[in-house]
Amino acid sequence: MTKSTRISTPDAELSKSTADIRARNVWSIFRALFPHNCLSRAELGRRIGVSRMAIGEITKEMCDTRILTTTGLDARPGRGKRSTMLAIDTSYWRLIGIDLSQPYVLVGALLDLVGNVSERTEIVHDDSYDSRASDIIALARRLQKQSTSPILGVVITVPGIVDASGTVLLSIRLGWKNLPLQTIVQDALQLPVLAGNTINATLAAEHSNRAFTDNSMLVKIGMGVGAGLYINGEIVRGDSFAAGEIGHITVQTSQANGSECGCGKTGCLETFVSDKSIRARLAAAPERRTEILSEAGQILGQTLAMTVGLLDLRNIYIDGQPDLVGNTFLDALQQVLDHALTSEYRRVPEVCRCQQLPDRPLKGQTLLALPTLLPTVRTHFQVLSNSQ
């Protein structure tokens, strides 16, 4: 039997009202079974610490509303009556996922309750504000029509700073500032919508796959540079929801002041380490390829070293194109961290390249949204039943 996978819990602690206790128990049961575990009611009750009667009532409702399903009797060796086993029902509910992180294309998908993609589609867009918002709504409606299953909600991943209400505080890439994206899409679709940061969503997906440890950092090198942090198994968002926004930190390098950045400053990390900036330097001097990639790795290492030491991280994962984020880049980054952090009381974190798994942001944002969406399933199910 596989060990249950840990998923990040909501940031705000649940209060002790009856509704919140129920929501907490529903989420605890879901986490214990995620993604493909099969457990009996008795095992679930022991794991989450509720009575036999309570676990029976909660799991019955979760089965009735198609969050869970029965998978037959326990086939494990042992004596006594065989228990009925429960698992997450991936056949009924669907979520619509929209990923805004890809250049000039919106990626949309239908996902089940464990983040598996059942359908995927794309729509080419321009960079205008109105077109982007309208295209998001149009793509979501297209997926809603394609789905043969009821839609539980919509999740959106955004390359930028997104607050708890789903407002895009700033996305330099998209040209958005203080855009209430979650509210706009929710009003148009009349469905629950949860928008969040792309890198945090990717981090959640990797953590759910057990690729990442509980104290780790993900650095994404693409059109820009950004990071996500797991500390003690929880995603860190920061006081102003800008944790991990490292691309526009001015870095000190031996190069004269650096290039002008899209944000208006000069010498931002993004102008040295982004996909675009590295490729521009390689195109200008292909004979210096090894030196250029090594310099980029060193600059990133110098930028991260203080934070990595302060937080005592175990692993640093770099997500980028393999022709750039290869051994030369990673070795240079590791050497900088080794030099800066090596001591008798500290283990220097290991730097490695992140696997390029498909649709990770959409899966991760689905998992981050489920603590909010699962408690609403009963209401959704009643509405569906009454309409039939």
Is residue 166 within 8 A of residue 195, CB to CB? The reply is yes
Of the given ranges (11-15, 305-309, 339-343), which has the lowest mean pLDDT?
Answer: 11-15
Lowest-confidence pick of 44-58, 63-77, 90-104, 245-259: 245-259
Model pLDDT, residue 16: 55
Q: What are the structure tokens assigned to 112, written together?
A: 């089940």
Q: Rounded to whole angstroms, how far apart are CA atoms 167 and 376?
A: 22
Instruction: With H, G, I as helix, E, B as strand and everything else as coil, classify residue 318.
Output: strand
Structure tokens at 331: 């070795």
Look up residue 96 and give its DSSP letter. E
Q: Is the pLDDT of residue 273 over 60?
A: yes
* Number of CB atoms found within 10 A of residue 102's CB: 15
Distance, in Å, from the CA atom of 197 to the CA atom of 100, rounded to the nearest integer, reads 10
Question: Residue 378's pLDDT is what?
Answer: 83
The reported pLDDT for the residue numbered 364 is: 95
Query: What is the average per-residue pLDDT within 280-304?
Result: 97
pLDDT of residue 5: 53
pLDDT for residue 127 is more than 80: no
Chain centroid to Cα 158, Å, comes to: 11
3-state secondary structure of 229: strand
Q: Give the pLDDT of residue 1.
A: 45
pLDDT at 256 over 70: no
Question: What's the rounded Cα separation, in Å, for the pair 202 and 181?
Answer: 20
| Residue indicated by tokens 């929880």 | 234
Between residues 226 and 343, which one has the greater pLDDT?
Answer: 226
Summarised one tens digit per residue, pLDDT across range 65-122 is 999 999 998 887 776 778 999 999 999 999 999 999 888 889 999 999 999 999 999 9
Task: Assess contact for 96 and 133: CB atoms under 8 A.
Answer: no
pLDDT score for 13 = 46
334-359 mean pLDDT: 90
Q: Is the pLDDT of residue 282 over 70?
A: yes
pLDDT at 170: 93
Alpha helices in the chain (DSSP H): 18-33, 41-48, 52-64, 129-146, 181-189, 198-208, 270-273, 275-284, 289-311, 327-341, 360-373, 377-387
pLDDT digits (tens, 9 = 90+) for 200-227: 999 999 888 776 789 999 999 998 999 9
CA distances from 28 to 50, 193, 217 (A): 11, 22, 26
Q: What is the pLDDT of residue 128?
A: 54
Amino acid at 318: I
Q: Is the peptide bond before 35 cis (omega within 30 degrees of 0)?
A: yes
d(CA 327, CA 333): 10
Q: Which residue has the higher pLDDT, 357 or 301?
A: 301
Domains, the chain, in order of start with CATH, read 18-74+82-88 (1.10.10.10), 94-201+365-386 (3.30.420.40), 213-353 (3.30.420.40)
Q: Cα–Cα distance between 320 and 219 in angstroms, integer?
A: 9
What per-residue confidence (pLDDT) applies to 262? 79
| Tens digits of residue pLDDT in 293-310 | 999 999 999 999 999 999
- Amino acid 239: pLDDT: 96
Mean of the per-residue pLDDT values of the chain: 90
Q: Are strands 151-158 and 94-99 parallel, antiparallel or unpaired?
A: parallel
What does the pLDDT read at residue 198? 96
In the numeric block, the tokens 């990071």 are attached to 227
Provide the 3-class DSSP secondary structure of residue 114: coil
